[in-house]
Amino acid sequence: MGMGKCKHCGTTILFGGQRDSNGNLYCNATCMEQDVPSRAREILPQDVIDRYTDSIRESECPVCHGRCSPIDIQYSYRVVSFLVITQYSTRPRLSCTRCARMANIKDFLITAIAGWWGFPFGILLTPIYLIRNMIKFICPVGENAPSEALKDLSSTLIMQQLAEEQEANENTENAHTLNQLPQERNE
């Protein structure tokens, strides 16, 4: 039963669509296949994902290199306009909450100064984006528990590591086989 957005491509789905076992909605089977993080989260054991997610949360902040608070995927929002051109962006970053709040302040100020000067989208979007920065400043992501987006990221990274390990193993196996081939003999 419809009305939602495809988790993979973001298309609005009015009728039909397809859901995975976690209830995520997709246009069709192709979009479902291509949503790598969700497929990974179905395959991988929950405790493996949790442990990896915790290790990211407890690691050094990639922005300030501090260890003051849990790391998560944080967002800030920016609108910049010039006459009829309005650029608006949601800017994700992996950081601590302190760096996230700094980014919210910075993008709030940039938007407050440069957002308004486009018609119509600058005028329409600027107040919304200012409020979005304020909300995230008050409630940064992942203060009490990891976000779903961070769990998605962990799952993708685990799958990448597994793929790399498998490839490395295959290479050693090949090397092994080559070593076992009979040596050329000088006859």
**Number of Cβ within a 10 Å radius of residue 59:** 12
Q: Which stretch binds Zn ion (CB under 5 A): 6-14, 83-91, 113-121, 174-182?
A: 6-14
Binding track, positions 31-60, relative to Zn ion; x by CB under 5 A: x-----------------------------
Q: What single-letter DSSP state applies at residue 31? A: H
Structure-block tokens of residue 94: 């992996």
Half-sphere exposure of residue 169: CA atoms within 13 angstroms, side-chain side: 6
User: Would the CA dihedral through 56, 59, 65, 66 be positive or negative?
Assistant: positive
Q: Is 105 in the site for Zn ion (CB under 5 A)?
A: no
Per CB under 5 A, the list member of 3, 43, 64, 162 interacting with Zn ion is 64
Q: Is 9 in the site for Zn ion (CB under 5 A)?
A: yes
User: Would the CA dihedral through 86, 90, 94, 98 be positive or negative?
Assistant: positive
Toward Zn ion, which CB reaches closer, 26 or 77? 26
Please report, as ranges, the residues that interact with Zn ion according to CB under 5 A.
Answer: 6, 8-9, 11, 27, 31, 61, 63-64, 95-96, 99
